[in-house]
Chain A
Amino acid sequence: MEIRPIASALMRNKSALVLIALQVAITLAIVCNSVFIILERIEKVNRPSGLDEPAIFAISSSGFAPGFDLDGSMRQDLDAIRSTPGIIDATAINSIPLSNGGWSEGVSDKPEGTPLKDRKQESTSVYLVDEHAVKSMGLELVAGRDFTANDVTVRTQEDVGKAQSIIVTQALADRFYPDGAVGKTIYAGGLVDDGRPVTIIGVVKRLQAPWVGWDKVEHSLLVPLLQQGENQARYLIRAEPGQRDRLMPEIEKKLGEINSGRILRDLKSLEEIRGDSYRRDRAMSVILGTVIVALLIVTGLGIVGMASFWVTRRTKQIGTRRALGARRFDVRRYFMVENAIVIAIGLALGVVLTYGFNLWLMQHYELPRLAWYYVPIGIVTMFLLGQVAVSGPAGRASRVSPAVATRSV
């Protein structure tokens, strides 16, 4: 078609061409990579935790009164909570999932002395719970059995407890025993004091570690230990559907009445806790989204501005073309094609920039490679943006009267 003469005319105005093309290139690189990061964050935020999140809330208790009886108050508290109508179950727990604070431990399939090359080792989060944990969290037990009251022992500062059995997540079980983990043993130095292994009695489909940004976030252990140290206790409570918001203040009040020699704090629903933990990821997504929108607007308006100016500057040329037989459509098409050529040049550079930027992100931020479809989608978007942006000025150009050609100035 008429690409060659348009292109050669463009080459006579290199600076304008280069300026728009560079904008388009940088815009493509930023938009592709930012969308990529945003989608990655959204995926991260939307990962299931394995818990029945909408129904769960948590509360902590810190005793300060002299002679505070932690053991007694914990039993009283848990009895009171569990007997409240509308509560499904509750467990004592050392840290709340998604809360970004907890205990991590290195576990292995062989004893500590074994050389590293002969054994598998993995990091995992550790939840110290009682026999109500699986039900309280709403976990899905996929193999083996749940804890019973007999499994649970007490852990204090002096005594690490007598944990014999544990429940692991599927992800952790697969690392050690992909052919079935129930009945197998693992070594977890911090759980026992004599170097003996503990037995896997059950596997849950999913239970995330407390740290949402951790690369081993799917690795968790449930250990039947009641932790009693520093007069601290923490409860994870599951309400019946729709009852949570009503029960939260009620439980807080009830616990306060049981024992006033303590401070009740951190009464939060798991949804709130999740929101707090993922706030940075949300914020990053919003910020990147803002950058993308602002960038597209600026680039689009830049194209509008430049195109308008060139239309004004070339009014006489347009009139002449009209006089020589160009239809309105031909004039409009001229500007559209011109725009498409500029955008295409920018995009060619932009593809290089996009992958360069992605490579840099991969090296510095351990981001995966850009999926193949980002660039084509980005290219189509930028083309559409260019065509929409230029359509106004191009329309104006097409309305230039051919009589302009005979005007002397």
Chain B
Amino acid sequence: MLKMKNLSKVYRTHMIETHALRGFDIHVREGEFVAVSGPSGSGKTTFLNIAGLLEDFSAGDFHLDGIDVRGMDDAARSRLRNEKIGFIFQGFNLMPDLNLFDNVDVPLRYRKFDAAERKRRIDAALGRVGLSSRMKHYPSELSGGQQQRVAIARALAGSPRLLLADEPTGNLDSLMARGVMELLEEIHSQGTTIIMVSHDPELAARAQRNVHIVDGQVTDFDEEPRFDAPAANTPSPVAAPPQIA
């Protein structure tokens, strides 16, 4: 699904060169749920930006869903983002001036769907996150957890093959965070590949695979979920789906 080989990213400002990523190798297979962690400034966000085609890379190879994205022009990258990738941001990034329906509609507008198809997809996506009844509400009228679920609905509406989540629970309290996590797991179980950046070990633990980035390189690569943090502090997973108000 996503394959990076010997990838590097250099930021140049005046005289200083910063290597955000160097010799970066990763291979995420179709249907995987990968959690990416690492300290601040390690290159997590750069990795996510490059993976989501939000930024270009300086050198190396990158294939997304079998497509070589190197040297692709902006319009083609935009189309690829739109069709294959769904984004979930830490800050939700909803349009405050659009209601939920129109928010979910945003990515669909950039595709050649007709109105009926868009409506069907929006209804389905909002239904999936349990917010069908709030279509006409505006983001400011919702709680943080609900806003993030709208963002997830927006990411899902275009039926992406790959979901990129950047600290999806970073702005949420633990109860709401758990609800969002449940949702992601459910989406994953239905076959969508998910790459999630998070420094929350509990969340990372729920992914299939953990990747640790330090200084722009993958340092830890395991096949099995594992815990880095002391287990004592970790609340046990809840069995029933959380109720998010």
Contact = CB atoms under 8 A, between A and B. Distances in A.
Contacts, number: 92
B110 A330 contact: yes
Given A2-B109, A320-B93, A406-B166, A325 B54 contact: no
B194 to A, nearest CB: 16
Interface of A: 2, 5, 8-10, 12-13, 316-317, 319-330, 401-403, 405-406, 408
Contact of A5 (B53, B89, B105): B105
Contacts of A13: 97
A325 B110 contact: yes
A326 B110 CA distance: 6
B110 A406 contact: no
A323 B83 contact: no
Interface stretch (B71-79, B180-188, B220-228): B71-79
Given A8-B102, A324-B107, A325-B78, A406 B89 contact: yes
B interface residue count range (under 10 / 10 to 19 / 20 to 34 / 35 or more): 35 or more
A324 B75 CA distance: 12
Nearest to A317: B95
Contacts of B166: 406
B75 A401 contact: no
B90 A408 contact: yes
Given A327-B74, A403-B55, A408-B91, 5 more contacts: A2-B109, A9-B102, A12-B96, A13-B97, A325-B107
A5 B98 contact: yes
Interface in B9-53: 45, 48-49, 52-53
Interface string B85-128: 00101110101111100100111011100000000000000000
A320 B53 CA distance: 13
Contacts of B96: 12
15 contacts: A316-B91, A320-B93, A320-B106, A322-B54, A323-B93, A324-B81, A324-B82, A325-B82, A327-B79, A329-B75, A330-B110, A403-B54, A405-B87, A405-B89, A406-B49
Interface in B142-187: 154, 158, 166
Contacts of B91: 316, 408
B48 A406 contact: yes
Contacts of A316: 91, 93
Given A322-B78, A324-B154, A405 B54 contact: yes
B102 to A, nearest CB: 5
A406 B96 CA distance: 17
Contacts of B154: 324
Interface of B: 45, 48-49, 52-55, 74-75, 78-79, 81-83, 87, 89-91, 93, 95-99, 102, 105-107, 109-111, 138, 154, 158, 166
B89 A320 contact: yes
A240 to B, nearest CB: 72
A325 B45 contact: no
B110 A5 contact: no
A405 B49 CA distance: 9
A356 to B, nearest CB: 33
Nearest to A402: B54
Contacts of B102: 5, 8-9
Nearest to A326: B110
B87 A324 contact: yes
Contacts of A328: 74-75, 78
A354 to B, nearest CB: 31
A316 B98 CA distance: 15
A406 B45 contact: yes
Residue of A316, A321, A401 with most partner-chain B CB within 10 A: A321
B98 A401 contact: no
Contacts of B83: 325
A319 B81 CA distance: 13
A9 B111 contact: no
Contacts of B98: 5, 8-9
Contacts of A320: 87, 89, 93, 95, 106
A395 to B, nearest CB: 14
Residue of A320, A326, A330, A408 with most partner-chain B CB within 10 A: A320
Contacts of A323: 52, 54, 81, 87, 89, 93
A327 B75 contact: yes
A213 B214 CA distance: 87
A105 B98 CA distance: 74
A322 B138 CA distance: 21
A10 to B, nearest CB: 8
A393 B139 CA distance: 26
